[in-house]
Amino acid sequence: MVKICCIGAGYVGGPTMAVIAVKCPAIEVVVVDISKPRIDAWNSDTLPIYEPGLDEVVKACRGKNLFFSTDVEKHVAEADIIFVSVNTPTKTRGLGAGKAADLTYWESAARMIADVSKSDKIVVEKSTVPVKTAEAIEKILTHNSKGINYQILSNPEFLAEGTAIDDLFKPDRVLIGGRETPEGRKAVQALKEVYANWVPEENIITTNLWSAELSKLAANAFLAQRISSVNAMSALCEATGANVSEVSYAIGKDSRIGPKFLNASVGFGGSCFQKDILNLVYICECNGLPEVANYWKQVIKINDYQKSRFVNRVVSSMFNTVSGKKVAVLGFAFKKDTGDTRETPAIDVCKGLLGDKAQVSIYDPQVTEDQIQRDLAMNKFDWDHPMHLQPTSPSSVKQELDYQKIFNNMQKPAFVFDGRNVVNADKLREIGFIVYSIGKPLDA
């Protein structure tokens, strides 16, 4: 029986391994992590992350061919294929701080693999890493190899949080990069055979290592760039009377552009887009390409601009101050169908409102009060003014809001600021609200 071990039981390691286990009953999959609370949660009825469909997949194979464990070394030693899916955040200090990827977790995982391995291994980069990371990993492993053969593969993950299980069941593509040597090709083939259990062959792409590593950064940069492009357009729409939804629809009908990822919003968030673009910027700078670096930097600048533009609109609409005014923030995670709040634009929005001394209440059915406290504390808030966190209640997850009742209880004029263009603005205006929808004229 082929044994797979995945180091890192996070948003990527957990769901990807659960899907491999459910699709490959003949493979034993063990997901390991140094975090005991995380592993305990994976072994409990309340999984550590929320993803539609994840509970069912985990329950179908946990204890059969899917296991979660803190015994990292034992399972790494026993595995034939080791996925490394540890976090690769932006460096906060030292060389490249604020841009480069922090590979501390990766390096310690690689050193541990070298320490405990007694048989040949295929080591798979599942984390998003800078191009050429495989070279560094190879050095660490081969200099400590004790005669063991290591093959490094790059197999970046393209799942999107909120649709992770669907994305994993039906991936647009699976990308595998390897060395162009006989051993490298053999390793690529072995990983291909795992995915071939459910992914059509034409959707499995094989490339050289550097193309695979760079493709992940490139994919995230292109996706984020699309959001920043439409958000930049939303500012122009507001200035001219155009409606960004109409513009998006019109341009998305062009088959060269396509309709996806063209919704204007308060900005992108999540743990990946910003960090991966910063990483790309750093790689460009290190390779003597400052003009290319500046091009990608602009994607982040527009995202920051969009968030502050939104806050400024709220404050200026409410007669230039929100001091002492009650503001309810609905939704805190970085997008729908996830409880992940990493880099959520809601943090910047709340920060802006609190900075002007608003009384902020926050509600998100997937996010706990502790999590919000932690996120806002991490972002160094001034806690002098009141802040209300609404307790979460699973029963209210899909509940419709009674806007008439809300309106009746509000001080007038009553405002709704829609940072995702999800409310029915016409209906709310009929009730009497003043509605601001991002990228749209005030009466649209």
- State the catalytic residues: 272
- Any binding-site annotation on 89? yes
- Binding to ligand NAD (CB under 6 A) within 260-299 occurs at 271-272
* From 17, 57, 88, 439, residue interacting with ligand NAD (rule: CB under 6 A): 88
Residue 344 CB, nearest approach to ligand NAD (Å): 13
Contact letters (x/-) for ligand NAD, 43-82, by CB under 6 A?
-----------------------------x----------
Residue 166 CB, nearest approach to ligand NAD (Å): 13
Contact call for residue 213 and ligand NAD (CB under 6 A) = no
- Any binding-site annotation on 98? no
Residue 25 CB, nearest approach to ligand NAD (Å): 24
Query: What distances in angstroms separate CA 363 from CA 63, 288, 324, 330, 385, one per listed residue?
Result: 36, 46, 19, 5, 18
* Burial track 13-50 (b if 16+ CB lie within 10 A, e otherwise): bbbbbbbbbbbbeebbbbbbbbeeebbebbeeeebbbb
* Contact indicator for 72, 113 with CB cutoff of 8 Å: no
How far is 97 from 295, CA to CA, in rounded Å? 20
Nearest to 328 by CA among 430, 417, 442: 417
Instruction: Please give the span between the terminal C-alpha atoms of the chain, in angstroms, as a whole number.
Output: 61
How far is 191 from 24, CA to CA, in rounded Å? 12
* From 4, 6, 13, 30, residue interacting with ligand NAD (rule: CB under 6 A): 13
Contact call for residue 34 and ligand NAD (CB under 6 A) = yes
Contact letters (x/-) for ligand NAD, 221-260, by CB under 6 A?
----------------------------------------
What is the CB neighbour count within 10 angstroms for residue 84? 24
How far is 393 from 262, CA to CA, in rounded Å? 32
Contact letters (x/-) for ligand NAD, 106-145, by CB under 6 A?
--xx-----------------xx-----------------
* From 5, 22, 33, 247, residue interacting with ligand NAD (rule: CB under 6 A): 33
- Any binding-site annotation on 272? yes
How far is 5 from 41, CA to CA, in rounded Å? 18
Contact call for residue 28 and ligand NAD (CB under 6 A) = no
Contact call for residue 85 and ligand NAD (CB under 6 A) = yes
* DSSP line for 180-200: SSHHHHHHHHHHHHHHTTTS-
Contact call for residue 86 and ligand NAD (CB under 6 A) = yes
Helix (H, G, I), strand (E, B) or coil at 328: strand
- Binding to ligand NAD (CB under 6 A) within 155-174 occurs at 157, 159, 161
- Any binding-site annotation on 25? no
* Contact indicator for 18, 30 with CB cutoff of 8 Å: no
Nearest to 276 by CA among 236, 199, 331, 220: 220
Contact call for residue 379 and ligand NAD (CB under 6 A) = no
Pick the closer one to ligand NAD by CB: 128 or 231: 128
Contact call for residue 12 and ligand NAD (CB under 6 A) = yes
Contact call for residue 102 and ligand NAD (CB under 6 A) = no
* From 4, 6, 8, 133, residue interacting with ligand NAD (rule: CB under 6 A): 8
Cα torsion 56, 60, 61, 63: sign: positive
* Contact indicator for 163, 242 with CB cutoff of 8 Å: no
* From 4, 5, 6, 10, residue interacting with ligand NAD (rule: CB under 6 A): 10
Pick the closer one to ligand NAD by CB: 278 or 416: 278
Structure tokens at 357: 């001394």
User: Which residues, at least 6 apart from 119, have a Cβ–Cβ distance to it below 8 Å?
Assistant: 80, 148
Contact call for residue 9 and ligand NAD (CB under 6 A) = yes
User: Which residues, at least 6 apart from 128, have a Cβ–Cβ distance to it below 8 Å?
Assistant: 88, 101, 156, 157, 216, 217, 220, 272, 276, 279
Residues annotated within the binding site are: 8-13, 33, 38, 86-90, 127-128, 161, 272-275, 342
Residues annotated within the binding site for NAD(+) are: 8-13, 33, 38, 86-90, 127-128, 161, 272-275, 342
* Contacting positions for ligand NAD (CB under 6 A): 7-13, 32-35, 38, 72, 85-88, 105, 108-109, 127-128, 157, 159, 161, 271-272
